[in-house]
Amino acid sequence: SQQGEEDPQALSIQEGENATMNCSYKTSINNLQWYRQNSGRGLVHLILIRSNEREKHSGRLRVTLDTSKKSSSLLITASRAADTASYFCATDAPNDYKLSFGAGTTVTVRA
Amino acid sequence: GAVVSQHPSRVICKSGTSVKIECRSLDFQATTMFWYRQFPKQSLMLMATSNEGSKATYEQGVEKDKFLINHASLTLSTLTVTSAHPEDSSFYICSARDRSTGWNYGYTFGSGTRLTVV
């Protein structure tokens, strides 16, 4: 079932700028993950943050998690044209391996 | 890293026919695979959880007889859309997790199948 809301729905930025998108969820989670989807393709796992973690970095990606607000953010620094894609957050509940996806944010990076 | 191969990538079929979509874990064993459906510019909706050697678990509102799932081996799950209708046209994606790598790598997704029913 869907439990994530993401904002903004769409984001257009210039190459080199940072892109920030947010995700909110409704129920307790085990982990929160971010995925990227290029148009018409499958999803690529970007980063996973556990419920007891507050911040995580991977290359140009920075993810934060605030379990008290049930929200997460994904920051992409120094964006590139190749970062153009849709980004989804996904959560799984304790003792449940099924993922619930957010609505997604479509990011367009202009050269 | 873990790879999930999904075939076909695109299929066009006539109304009333059945279509089979395959999802294979290439370099790991997947006791559990997941099937999603995605409408244009929308998010992924979980359809069912495919369990190796047992019956699939379907999400509420998903017709079991319409979307047949078979997970006969540790590396292969199939989704068969039976008696397809135009409203079944969608993007279908499978995923699996390589449990041997732990949680940090998330789930691996197939490249998706674009089904068009005419």
Q: Do A33 and B106 lie within an 8 Å CB cutoff?
A: yes
DSSP string, A29-92: -SEEEEEEE-TTS-EEEEEEEETT--EEEETTEEEEEETTTTEEEEEE-S--GGG-EEEEEEEE
Q: Do A101 and B44 lie within an 8 Å CB cutoff?
A: yes
- Mean pLDDT in runs of 10 for chain B (118 residues)? 92 98 93 92 93 91 95 92 97 87 75 97
Q: Which of B22, B31, B107, B116 to mutate to test the interface with A (most CBs of A within 10 A)?
A: B107
Asked if A95 reaches chain B (Cβ–Cβ under 8 Å), the answer is no
pLDDT digits 0-9 by tens, A12-40: 999 999 999 999 999 899 899 999 999 98
Asked if B89 and B81 count as a contact pair (C-beta separation under 8 A), the reply is no
Instruction: Please give the structure tokens belonging to residue A56.
Output: 């995580």
Within 8 A of B49 by CB-CB distance, chain A residues are 98
Instruction: Please give the structure tokens belonging to residue A43.
Output: 């999803």
Count of positions (residues) in chain B = 118
